[in-house]
Structures are given as structure tokens and as C-alpha cells.
Amino acid sequence: MKRSYKLVKRFGLALLSCALLSSATAVYAEETAPGVKGMSEEEFTPAKEVLTVKYVDVKKPYHMDVDSLKGSFQDATGITVPLQMQDKAFPNGGGSIQGAEVKAIHDGITIYFQITWNDPTRNAQAIAIQEYRDAVALMFPLGAVEITPAEHFSPRMGDREKPVNLWHWKSDWEADLLVKGELEDVEERYPNMHDDFNTNPYSPYYHRDLITSIAVLSGGRAADNLISRPGRGRTVEDLNAEGFGTLTTQEHQDVNGCSKFEDGAWTVIIYRSLITQDPHDVQFVPGGKTFFNMAVWNGAEQDRNGQKNISTQWHPAVLEKVAWQ
């Protein structure tokens, strides 16, 4: 007991100093974490240009593709969304895509967003370590919100108290739909790859359980990870976030899309029912208003994750009423 008292007496001041320093550091880190720039007031101010989601009697094709749907967008007025590099958190990145055009329509049941941007190369495979895909994502605030300079709502992945719903189209997911099993695997990238199992000196009978074990050889698939799942049957991932580092895949996926790459430009159409039963989904009401933001990834420039081309402002969107309203 006396020894413990002597240790506290001898090192107590140092320990107290460390505790105070740690507390101060924690507070400082919470306010301005390393590599994170503060938000400007301009970012809390929505863009002035409003996207009108035009009501159109869409003749749904048997197979949803850009060519079949493009006629429905001919009378819709688009807006150009300026994009810049992601400069708020390390490792930063992006900057190769300067902007994208967004058009939107609805038929009283489904809402469709058409995004077009210039990209000199089509990158639709992300199997090799050095490969990165082209992609685009739309982001919406959850619930009925009013975003003003006085009502801060981060246009960068939302906030802890203000969650967002994201729709992330991935070019390689669309490519997956065209191959057997609907999942491009390593053999697609390396058709002459070496396989240890085929050259094993022992009969395949002795390691059959191993080479057919999903749990052992494909942990992601065994865990039912959406990224690893074959036959997912969609090109868009439905997610939620409450700020950086909180991106989470939804258990129920409601969004889909289609794309076309032609003459150095991507055209991507992302669509979903106006209303869903999922409380984690954004809901759209004809005659109502919402906001959206977006990001684009250029695989040729090694864009991935937070390294992307972003818009730093929310963009207002107003849905036209349906014809019978």
C-alpha cells in the first residue's frame, strides 16, 4: 500500500498531465481531425438551379436499357452538376471529371435519373489489383428536410444526426450480368492462370471437400456479402451513411440501373419505385421536393472509395404532379 502511494506521489503529476493532454487532443481531434478540412458555408447552401423531375407516361420496355428509355427523357430539362476532387479527407483524390448532366422523370410509380458524363475510357472490370471501375452515385437526405445555410446538412455523406440514402451504380456489376453465373471472376481476367488444385499430385478425391468449400475458399460469399454474391441481378447498390466511414449496405436492395458507353461518354439510368416500405430509403412524392448530390469515379485515374469526383452542394429537385392530380 505504501509502495502504491509512493508511485502515485512520484508519478501522479506526470499521469495527470498525460490525462489532460489526451483529453485536449481528443477534443481537438473531434473538431479538426488530421487530414480533414472544415466545411465552408458555401457547402451548406444548396445550388440555385432546380432539377425538375418531369412527369412522363413511360412505356416500360420488356428489357430496361438506355436505348429503350432514352425517348422518355427527350422533353426533360437537365442540369449540369459541377464536380471537383474530393479534398476533405485523406487520401483525397479525383478531379479528372469536371461535371455531369442529370435529367429525371417519373411516371407516378417509378422515378428515373439519367446521368451523363465524358470519360475517354470504359473501365468495367475490377478484378486485378491495379484495376478500378467507373461508377456513379446519387445521394439523398432521408425524410422531409429543408436545407439552408441556417439548417446545416453536410453534402458529403451526411451527418451523424442527418442520415442519407445512396444509390451506387458500378460498371463491373453491369458487366457481371453478361457472364455465366453473373459474377466475373479471376478466370475472366486471367484465362491462363495457374491452378494449384489441377496440378496436385494427389487425386482430387482427397481434396474435393476443400476445393468445393465456399466457407473456406470464398469467405465473402459464405458471409453473404453483396459484393461477393453471384447472381445479385442488379447494377446498383442501395446504401446508407451518416458521415465519413459509416457507409453501410442495406439488407433490402430496391434500386437498379442500366448504362451505355458510347463515343467517350457514359449514360447511366438509375431507377426505383417512388415509394418503398423500407424506412432507410428516401421517399418521393409527386408535387413534392427533395435534394440530391452525386459523385463520379474514373477507373482509368484509379478512383475508388473516397478518391472520387464530387459535388460540394446539395441540388434541389421538384417532382411534377401526375396528370390525374
Is the predicted pLDDT of residue 314 greater than 70, yes or no?
A: yes
Residue 325: per-residue pLDDT: 55
CATH 3.60.20.30 fits 47-183+230-319, yes or no: no
Residues 44-64 have a mean pLDDT of: 91
Half-sphere exposure of 246 (CA within 13 A, CB side): 16
State pLDDT tens for residues 235-252.
Answer: 999 999 998 889 999 988
Residues 146-154 have a mean pLDDT of: 86
Is the predicted pLDDT of residue 54 greater than 70, yes or no?
A: yes
Q: Which of 45, 47, 43, 58 is nearest to 317 (CA)?
A: 47
State pLDDT tens for residues 185-218.
Answer: 666 667 777 666 666 666 666 666 766 666 666 6
Is the predicted pLDDT of residue 289 greater than 80, yes or no?
A: yes
Residue 25: per-residue pLDDT: 35
Which of 85-94, 167-176, 299-308 is the least confident region?
A: 85-94
Residue 14: band (very low, low, confident or very high) from pLDDT cuts 50, 70, 90: very low
Residue 216: per-residue pLDDT: 63
Residue 176: per-residue pLDDT: 83
Higher pLDDT, 294 or 21: 294
State pLDDT tens for residues 108-134.
Answer: 999 999 999 999 999 998 877 889 999
In terms of pTM, does the model score above 0.95? no
Domain boundaries, the chain: 47-183+230-319
